[in-house]
Amino acid sequence: MPKNQLDGKTALITGAASGIGKTTAILFAREGASVVLTDINESAGHTVAAEITQLGGRAIFEPGDVTSAAHCQHVAARAVREFGGIHILFNNAGIIRRAAVTELSEADWDRVMAVNVKSMFLMSRQVIPVMASSGGGSIINTASGWGLAGGPRAAVYCASKGAVVLLTKAMAIDHGPQNIRVNCICPGDTDTAMLRNEAQQLGEPRDKFLAESAKRPLGRVGKPEEIAQAALFLASEASSFVTGTALVVDGGGLAGSA
């Protein structure tokens, strides 16, 4: 496997068993990074790690829930033990509940906020001292276009992703002096299992839902590979003077927003 933009780096990726996380893990490994994967889906996570290894890359998978402080501590410690440090953190784990506030249960609110926001706090708290001790690094948080503009029947998701955008900016301010860059990606609708699950949550036919999702200037939904390329840019030296930004990757979906 050729080593390129991430040669010699170690990347920790949450939500790495499927979708954007899986695709990014494979891309980062192709670019020379050793990758530490974590996800609640144990069987799928082991499959991704095995795929990377078969391609000639270096990967380990640690199953668990990123809303647990103990798990985050364990994963970060294993990354250091196995690969000697952490240079890139991709806080990508996320879930969605499509509902207005009057339709949401308290449990759903708490779970979405825990997975989408609290997990980033917990994992970053473990990783930042490791990055700082080795001279810096890059943290990438997965936000959303709905972290910058509201959407229908997505109250807690919008709230959580808006929190990610401002958490990213605050972290960039706090940790810039340690040479740690912190940015977030705001994807538009992307062709993943989570997007299809939204149709089910809303009780809409999948084909109709996907057709509506494609109504943006480029006329289609995104591909996980396109979001992964944005993550690679933010992880690499190509973005060495970029921090505190929300990078919109949405086929023009927000182009008409104020």
Measure the CA–CA gap between 234 and 239, rounded to whole angstroms. Answer: 5
Question: Looking at 90, 146, 157, 233, which residue is catalytic?
Answer: 157
CA–CA separation, 110 vs 113, rounded Å?
5
CA dihedral 51, 53, 58, 59 (to 10 degrees): 50
Q: What tokens appear for 121 in the block? A: 């706090």
Active site residue 169: no
Chain Cα centroid distance, residue 228: 9
d(CA 23, CA 114): 23
221 with 213: CB under 8 angstroms? Answer: yes
Report DSSP letters for 119-132, one per residue. HHHHHHHHHHHHHH
Q: Which residues contact 16 (CB under 8 A, 6 or more apart)?
A: 22, 24, 25, 35, 37, 38, 39, 45, 48, 61, 92
43, with CB counted inside 10 A (0-12, 13-18, 19+), is exposed
Catalytic residues: 157
